[in-house]
Amino acid sequence: MKTIGEKLRDLRNAYGLSQREFGEKVGITKGSINSYENNVNSITQGAKWKILQATGIGFEYFDSDMTLSEAFKKYNIDISKKLEFKKIEESICAICDGVKNYIDGKYLETFNIKSLFLNHLFDGMGYFDLCFLKVKHNELEPYAKNGDILVVSSNKNAENGD
């Protein structure tokens, strides 16, 4: 059975795209695509969801011994035509209770929300994954106080200490 990384590489190659191009289409960084394909990091559920949204390939492709040709057949993807990406319309959001839980990836709940809503709410940031983080006690003072809600964009690189 192929690894998830090999399956991701097969899928990307079926589209004839570089890691950077594929990442731009599905909303995942080139570095993440590279680490998933080379089995350095495990592919996240969020990344699988983005790939599902953009390609129509379901979770089962990654989570079973299903081949790419079987996946194309199961999900009614016509490979005789040029493979096209679908427009991503939803973002994955999560809720965390405290900074430590956010760092440890321990979410109270995850859910999908329409990207159009988030795009309006956060002034054109585009399609992204968010974590709503409730500050506990004094863990972020003086920047945030107990009970404050922070919104963290999960697929952006920190810039200038953001």
The answer to which of 23-27, 33-37, 127-131 has the lowest mean pLDDT is 127-131
Tokens for 124, please give them: 């054109």
pTM for the whole thing? 0.58
Note the pLDDT of residue 157.
43
Whether residue 117 is predicted with pLDDT greater than 70 in this model: the reply is: no
The torsion of the CA quartet 53, 58, 59, 63, rounded to 10 degrees, works out to -150
Q: Domains for the chain: give ranges and CATH numbers.
A: 4-74 (1.10.260.40), 90-153 (no CATH)
* pLDDT for res 53: 79
Q: Which residues, at least 6 apart from 42, have a Cβ–Cβ distance to it below 8 Å?
A: 4, 36
Read off the pLDDT band of 94 (50, 70, 90).
confident
